[in-house]
Chains A and B, each alone.
Chain A
């Protein structure tokens, strides 16, 4: 692979109220075809995207929360969620979906994709990324 770059998709918006969350997910899935080194960051209201138990039947919108479970199939397994953002919203990791990926080099063992990081760790992750896309 010639030119693999470190991509970081930064998600800061809640789902459904605006189109950003779904747009980001679509771009991530499209971008996965280019075999880059992809990571996702969820900060501020973006952490709401990963809350489990979403049910949009009564608001007549597509529930795209199951799509996050497909990210592992797309070799996207670095999902960073900011600790401070969760805390400010009264949420813990137990309120989020359990996202996993299968490690081909480890007999397809299921491993956690979500990693909780502090704001300063997130700043490092951003700093080390070569391409940052914000939604």
Chain B
């Protein structure tokens, strides 16, 4: 079983990313959309949590939401993949289940 976790809130405003990270198992994917895209940035107060999680899970971030917020890809944690809307759909079909952390 593989699970796609979708997070849409800033980790420095809400604890939904932290809750998500605490409930992922090896092989899962976390997709950051909307205000959660800031959590894919390096050198932030939540970066080490994400970097730690990336030992077991892969992290993707929605490109259009990054662009909207003026965050360039070189500001992202190494290893984070940027996906477009088609990539978003692909992730939902590729994984067995999807969980949204509101």
| Residue B57 is within 8 A (CB to CB) of chain A in the complex | no
B68 to chain A, nearest CB (A): 4
B72 and A53 contacting across the interface, CB-CB below 8 Å? yes
Binds B, one of A1-9, A12-20, A99-107: A12-20
Given A51-B69, A51-B70: A89 and B9 within 8 A (CB)?
A: no
How would you classify the secondary structure of chain A's contact residues: helix, strand, loop or mixed?
A: loop
List A residues 48-102 near B (Cβ within 8 Å): 48, 51-59, 61, 63, 65, 88-90, 95
Chain A's closest residue to B42 (CB) is A90
| Residue A37 is within 8 A (CB to CB) of chain B in the complex | no
B69 and A15 contacting across the interface, CB-CB below 8 Å? yes
Which residues from chain A contact B34 at a C-beta distance below 8 Å?
16-17
| Residue B43 is within 8 A (CB to CB) of chain A in the complex | yes
Looking at the complex, which one of A18, A52, A55, A88 makes contact with B68 (CB distance below 8 Å)? A55
- Band of interface residues on B: 20 to 34
A95 to B41, CA, bound (A): 13
How would you classify the secondary structure of chain B's contact residues: helix, strand, loop or mixed?
A: loop
Which residues from chain B contact A95 at a C-beta distance below 8 Å?
70
Which residues from chain B contact A88 at a C-beta distance below 8 Å?
12, 44-45
Which residues from chain A contact B10 at a C-beta distance below 8 Å?
14, 17, 45, 48
A55 to B64, CA, bound (A): 9
Which residues from chain B contact A53 at a C-beta distance below 8 Å?
70, 72
A45 and B70 contacting across the interface, CB-CB below 8 Å? no
List A residues 21-50 near B (Cβ within 8 Å): 44-45, 48
B11 to chain A, nearest CB (A): 10
Question: Which residues of A are at the interface with B, using a C-beta cutoff of 8 A?
Answer: 12-18, 44-45, 48, 51-59, 61, 63, 65, 88-90, 95
